[in-house]
Amino acid sequence: MNITPYTRIFITGCGGMLGKAVYEKFSAHCQVKATDIDINENWLEYADVRNYHATLKMAAEYSPDLIINLAALTDLEYCEKNPEESWKTNALGAENMAMISKKLKVPHVYISTAGIFDGEQEYYNDFDEPNPLSIYAKSKYYGEKYIHSKLERFFIFRAGWMMGGGIKKDKKFVNKIFKQIQAGNRTLYVVDDKLGTPTYTVNFADCMYQIVQTDLYGLYNMVCGGSCSRYDVAEEFVKLLGLENEIKIEIVDSGYFKTEYFAPRPASEKLVNLKLESRGINYMRDWRECLRDYAPLFKMALRTAAPREMVKEEAVTT
């Protein structure tokens, strides 16, 4: 499909950190109906992917040319404690949106995760066999399998360690580090035994925008270039904030956080964009370059924030 100002795209789960980037990218070029169960932006409308009939009615009335499903519960601990809700959102929701795409005869986009692998290998390409460990990963992998078996025109994009969305929407590692620094902590405890590939939401949305305009349907690993540990990300981020002489980063192993972060996580979530690279459509940039683009938002917030007292040091792992 070629995206024009008249193209109509229906997006679910668009209120989160990835949704912000996808909305901003696509709405600049075409018509977008962006939905979520959390109406945190004036450009969002309410839709719940768990409610097949209501979402079908809404989508059918809009008559989209493409459906993008971003809806997911991504907090691993929450998913472990609330498995039924996780399965309903991540698995049943994926089923519902795939069925709606099939009924409306439009292509479908689904976002998956590097977390579907078990970490027994260091690197995983698009063809390696997943073996999910957590409820979150199992429910997301179910969505992959369902879409692959039921649809012909689909894109499944596997993301890695997500970063993006800004201070208000970023619920992942970078913002957790920032909040501790902002609170006054001068020592951060960070693991170096978890490996992965960061994925910048803005770059991910740009890549998605270009690829959905091809007929190269299928499943793709889609992460930033380069791989690293959590410690590497923390170190680079602190440097970009200009705080390398003020913030100390202590390396710990994952056992240090076994109470707070109890959901099973693979030791390695490193993805290789084998198919994107082979087909000449790998538009993902190096993670350090992307973090350099992202960090100024946090640096500005530190400059404008009122001074705060030093507080008890806290831990960061995910």
Q: Determine the Cα–Cα distance for residues 238 and 243; give it in Å rounded to an integer.
A: 5
Q: What total number of domains does the chain contain?
A: 2
Q: In the prediction, which pLDDT does 220 show?
A: 98
Q: Please determine, for residue 307, whether its predicted confidence score (pLDDT) is greater than 60.
A: no
**Which residues 6+ apart lie within 8 Å of 210 measured at CB?**
281, 283
Judged on CB neighbours under 10 Å (0-12, 13-18, 19+), 245 is exposed
Residue 3 maps to a domain: no
Residue 187 maps to a domain: yes
Q: What share of the chain is helix, strand, coil (3-state, %, to 5)?
A: 40, 20, 40
Per-residue pLDDT of 89-109, as tens digits, reads 999 999 999 999 999 999 999
Q: What is the CATH number of the domain that holds 42?
A: 3.40.50.720
Q: Are residues 157 and 248 in the same domain?
A: no
Instruction: Domain of residue 180: give its range.
Output: 168-195+228-268+287-304
Q: Determine the Cα–Cα distance for residues 89 and 71; give it in Å rounded to an integer.
A: 7
Per-residue pLDDT of 8-21, as tens digits, reads 999 999 999 999 99
List, in sequence order, the alpha helices (H) in the chain.
Answer: 17-27, 52-62, 76-81, 83-86, 93-104, 135-150, 166-169, 173-183, 201-211, 230-240, 274-278, 287-304
Pull the structure tokens for residue 24: 């901003």
Q: Are residues 116 and 186 in the same domain?
A: no
Q: In the prediction, which pLDDT does 75 show?
A: 93
Q: Are residues 178 and 264 in the same domain?
A: yes
| DSSP per-residue string spanning 146-165 | HHHHH-SSEEEEEE-EEE-S
> Taking the model in full, what pTM does it have?
0.92
Q: Are residues 130 and 119 in the same domain?
A: yes
Q: In the prediction, which pLDDT does 305 show?
A: 62
Distances in Å between the alpha carbon of 62 and those of 8, 58, 100?
Answer: 8, 6, 12
Mean pLDDT over 129-147 rounds to 97
Residue 255 maps to a domain: yes
Q: Are residues 111 and 188 in the same domain?
A: no
Q: What is the CATH number of the domain that holds 173?
A: 3.90.25.10
Q: Which residue has 């690829």 as its token pair?
A: 211
Mean pLDDT over 219-235 rounds to 95
Residue 214 maps to a domain: yes
